[in-house]
Structure 1
Amino acid sequence: MIKIKMYPACQGDAFLVSFNNESTNIIIDMGLGKTYTDFIKPDLTALKHRGSSIDLLVVTHVDNDHIEGAIKFVKENAGNSEIIEVKEIWHNSYRHLQFSKNAKALEHDEITTLKQICSQNNLRTEQVGLQNVSIEEGVTLAGLLYGYNYPWNIKLGSNAVIKQNEVVKIADDVAIRLISPDVNKLEKLAQSWKSKLESEKYDFTMNDDELFDDAFEQYMKMPELHSSVQDISKNDQQLNFGELVNLVGKDNSATNGSSIAFIIEHKEHKLLFLGDAHEDNVYEELSRLNANGYELDFELVKVSHHGSNNNISKRLLGLISSKRFLISTNGRHFHPDLGAIAKVVDSGMRAEIITNYPHDKLETFRASIAKQSQNVSFKTTNQIIVE
């Protein structure tokens, strides 16, 4: 049996996936700080009391609504024992970006610039003094992982979490098949970071100083970086069903492009978790798998980017089948998009669309579903059981 908790994470993502009566547990993102405090922490405390641990925590990317709860958890968990043991964390930070770094020491003005970047986005970060963590203005996930020496990307040789041909074994009967990001998406993120630094100083030193991880994380969390990503839900109420189905979008966010996406394999079951990953990356890798005889039949799909039309397509849905589509959002940023829902309805799959908050806009599809004799239903819940 697989038990999936889809926490009420406001506009963010937070999932706990448990296998075989909690003998193996995977957390995927932890939402905002309040998500962790109000919902996740009590579950982790109970897991520890029952003798369980977290086999893997995946922080898919650096957006606030995916990472802030993880920062608060790692801070409280301290040396990996206060709340619950975490056997491994997967997360891509500055150290994993695909560009060469040299041994040259940072100059004084470069250190000053990086510290200023750290402070620019820490108004929402609690001020915490923490020994052995190289950050002065606030606490980042990278700084905490360094400071507490957490096992970080160990199963991947301490390298970047990127798509690869081999599955990664998490437990005897639980494995992960990575499908996103690829090197190109991480290079795009790296270029965004380098452009920021070079706007401050020509030929900015790029080395392995841990201060880079802190500044990188704080900069990439700034909301203005995502202002170019415009979803269309606020304007799609006037479109008919056919127009919604054919509505095409594209996510150009470098941080979303770096999002970790993967298939969890457990016995005969497959679960597809897409984070905020780009549609092109997901489609290309799933197509490759399918061409090699891999069946793309899923128990559930966690829809990318909270049901954004920019991260889903007719071609992707035509490639897979799934019994459930999970959409995690409270409706902020107008998610889920009606275009995304219309595509799932139009795909012809017999499936549930499961949300962790109620959305009145979904009611607009009931007439279309009945008219087309489609077997799609809507459900609001925070817990899914796969048997």
Structure 2
Amino acid sequence: MVKIKMYPAKEGDAFLISFGNDNSTNIIIDMGLEETYQSFIKPDLIELKESGKKIDLLIVSHVDNDHICGAIEFIKENKDNNTVIQVGEVWHNSYRHLKFDKVDEVLEREEKLVLKQIREQNTPPSSTDGLSEIKIDEGITLAGLLYKYNYNWNVSLNEKAVLISEQELTISTNVRVKVISPSVNKLNSLAIKWKEKLESEKYGFILNNDIIFDDAYEQYMKHSNHSSEVNEIAKNEDKLTFYELKNKKGKDRSVTNGSSIAVILESEDVKLLFLADAHEDLIYEELKKLNDSGYELNFDFVKLSHHGSNNNISNRILSLISARKYMISTNGKYSHPDLATIAKIVDNDRHAKIITNYNHDKVLEFNNKYFDGIGEFTVTVLNELVFE
């Protein structure tokens, strides 16, 4: 049995996937915002701990607020890895995983000041829920907290970056993971942006392994204009024909989205695809390779990339795969999900079963307009799904 909890994470992502009749293996993929963790995820973690279970793997796909903030809040509270629940391993790519020519030299005073300023300029004065004040020196980033409390961080990958791999990684006796994003090139795009920022502050900036780099990098990428694409609000979608919607193209240019960790999870006969906010070009390329190698792209569950944005999905991806359930995680912010995404899904699978964790009136109107209220596809609001 596989149980998926799809938390109401507002515009973000947060999933708990439990395997086995007794929830013997548990994987979390992203934790949404702080209140997602406090209101929805934390009670489940406490219940798991009371039943003698742990989180075998926590994947934080990338640094955007709506994926990482709940995880930061969780690690703050979990401290040295047992206050809330034990975590076997964390997968997350930070500054330490980017490819730089790092030197064994001490930072100059000016460079340390620049890094502290970057960190502080991108730190909000208080947490969004108003429960606690953030103190700059307390390890407020996910990287800083993972260092501080000595978590197993990317240990299955020899502490290197989580990257595309032809090999499956075994999480437990009955759960396997295949990474299909990011690529070296997508991570390098992040490295280039970060180096450009440092060089704009001081030419010839020393790059070393000082922990302050992780803090400054995470805060900058999370709060700068690079952290999320300029959202193209779906203007006049209701005026487009079905043909125009299904053929509408887009491209996500966010370097942080491109760095997303996307995975295939397999357990016995159940196969799940979680795409985080990954870029369409890379996902298509990797799925095509798998398909050409004879790997069957028949999924029980597909979490669509970037909250149903048309910029992250395509007809060519949908023509490669089949899915029992397509899932879109969003409360509708930034006009997600795009109707063009729904049109593409339905055009490729007229019997598609789409799941959302919030109600979206425009999707119902789409059904009424193009399928006269009796469309063969269905859209259901759910927060939990079980495959047996």
TM-score over 0.5 for the pair: yes
> Percent identity between the aligned chains?
56
| 8 Å CA contact retained: 2:62, 2:68 | yes
Secondary structure at the aligned position of 1:118 is classed as helix
**Structure 1: how far apart are the matches of 2:173 and 2:139?**
39
Between 370-379 and 152-161, the greater mean CA deviation after superposition: 370-379
Deviation at residue 203 of structure 1 after TM alignment: 1.1
RMSD: 1.6
Counterpart in 2 of 1:2? 2
Report the equivalent of 2:242.
Answer: 241
**Counterparts of 2:339 and 2:287, CA distance in 1:** 24
Deviation of the 1:137 alpha carbon: 6.9
Q: In the TM superposition, what are the counterparts of 1:242-281 in structure 2 within 5 Å?
A: 242-281=243-282
Instruction: Look up the match of 1:385.
Output: 386
Distance 2:57 2:26 in 1: 7
Amino acid at match of 1:16: L
Of stretches 221-230 and 46-55 in structure 1, the one that deviates more from structure 2 is 221-230
Distance 1:116 1:34 in 2: 27
Deviations 1:357-377 (A, max 9, x none): 000010123246636986311
Distance 1:349 1:91, change over 3 A: farther
The corresponding residue for 2:311 is 310
One-letter code aligned to 1:210: I
State the match for 1:93 in structure 2: 94
CA apart distance, 1:227: 6.3
Q: Is 1:202 aligned to residue 203 of structure 2?
A: yes
| Distance in 2 separating the partners of 1:331 and 1:371 | 24
Name which of structure 1's ranges 118-127 and 213-222 shifts more when overlaid on structure 2: 118-127
For structure 2, the 5+ residue unaligned runs are none
One-letter code aligned to 1:279: E
Q: 1:222 to 1:308 in 2, by over 3 A?
A: same
**Partners of 1:119 and 1:138 within 8 A in 2:** no
Aligned residue identity for 1:245: K
Amino acid at match of 2:2: I
Residue range with higher mean Cα deviation, 348-357 or 8-17: 348-357
**8 A contact 2:277–2:305 mirrored in 1:** yes
Structure 1 residue 320: Cα displacement:
0.4
Residue of structure 2 in register with 1:11 after alignment:
11
Tell me the CA shift for residue 128 of structure 1: 5.0
1:173 CA displacement: 1.0
Instruction: Please state how far the C-alpha of 1:351 moved relative to its aligned partner.
Output: 2.4
SS at match of 2:137: coil
The amino acid of 2:205's aligned partner reads F
Q: Is the 8 A contact 1:128 1:138 kept in 2?
A: no
Q: Which deviates more from structure 2 when the two are superposed, residues 119-128 or residues 19-28?
A: 119-128
* CA positional deviation for 1:239: 1.2
Counterparts of 1:296-335 in structure 2, within 5 Å, are 296-335=297-336
| Alignment CA distance shift 1:102-1:95 (3 Å) | same
Range with bigger deviation, 60-69 or 375-384 = 375-384
Structure 2 Cα separation of the partners of residues 223 and 196 of structure 1: 11
Q: Does 1:53 align with 2:41?
A: no
Q: 1:223 and 1:212, CA in 2 relative to 1: closer, same or farther beyond 3 A?
A: closer
Paired amino acid for 1:75: K
Structure 1 residues without counterparts, runs of 5 or longer: 130-134
2:163 is aligned to 162
Q: Which moved more, 1:323-332 or 1:97-106?
A: 97-106
Find the counterpart in structure 2 of residue 225 from structure 1.
226
Q: Deviations over 1:298-353 (max 9, x none)?
A: 00100000000000000000010001111111011111111111110111253211
Q: Using the TM superposition, give the Cα deviation of residue 223 of structure 1 relative to its aligned residue in structure 2, in angstroms.
A: 5.0
Q: Which amino acid in the other structure matches residue 8 of structure 1?
A: P
Describe the superposition over 1:52-94 as per-residue Cα deviations: whole angstroms up to 9, x where unpaired: 1000000000000000000000000001010000000000000
Check the 8 A contact 1:348/1:374 in 2, yes or no.
Answer: no
- 1:122 and 1:159 mapped to 2: Cα distance? 27
1:365 alignment partner, SS class: helix
Query: Does the 8 Å contact 1:329/1:357 carry over to 2?
Result: yes
For structure 1, which segment, 234-243 or 325-334, has the greater mean C-alpha deviation from structure 2 after superposition? Answer: 234-243
What is the Cα deviation at residue 236 of structure 1?
A: 1.9
Which secondary structure does the structure 1 equivalent of 2:225 belong to? helix
Structure 1 residues 104 and 221, CA, compared in 2 at 3 Å: closer, same or farther? same
SS in 2 for 1:326: strand
**Paired residues of 1:31 and 1:70 also in contact (CA < 8 A):** yes
> Aligned pairs, how many?
382
Q: Give the residue type in structure 1 aligned to 2:261.
A: I
Deviation at 1:158, TM superposition (A): 0.5
